[in-house]
Structure 1
């Protein structure tokens, strides 16, 4: 799979651990994330990830900022993007199963690096259930 990732200053260590896991599993990674803890603007990293997913350049996206909210709001401005804010593995699984989320948004200040890695792994390995959920997903786009 091809995965696009972006993060702000709250999460360079998170990105590093997630990228290491993805590469070890044979995924290709497109990295837009910051490698520094110097303050930056999360939209500068969320928009490129969302564009990759919306345009089909990436199968899935991973975005990370302090709360996960701002970067998720940024990504969800893009057509064909369903970015889900996830703070535990079970939420990541449900975001895929029920919402066909294609970007996971992680709140670095409220999860550990290990939790983030586990959430990403679960997110990428969970299929959309379709069925009764498909009609709901269809109603998300305007």
Structure 2
């Protein structure tokens, strides 16, 4: 399924997304139209922080871990692989490199997984190819 389906081939070009992640993504999400935005898709995966707000003050906690557990697992491990490469090749993803230097390692990895999930949803819904930062 993965190597022959065009959607799987497109999303496999994203760093940190391999054959297993791509096939699971396309099989579980379908066409992605059930989500109104990439943010809603990331929330469905449980990759967004829980919010504790009171009196106009917003406090963000840890990730909610609700939703698709296995897909979140695949995305986080793909993000770990990307983070390991970024430490050697700083120019590929300057956003992640700065985050790795500023935040805890696991916080940066989950942030990368969140970003990857949003990119995957956008690529699936809009039928676009992956563009690197230098191509944007």
Fold shared, TM-score > 0.5 on shorter chain:
no
More strand by percentage: 1
TM-score by length of 2: 0.32
TM-score by length of 1: 0.31
The structure with the largest alpha-carbon Rg is 2
More helix by percentage: 2
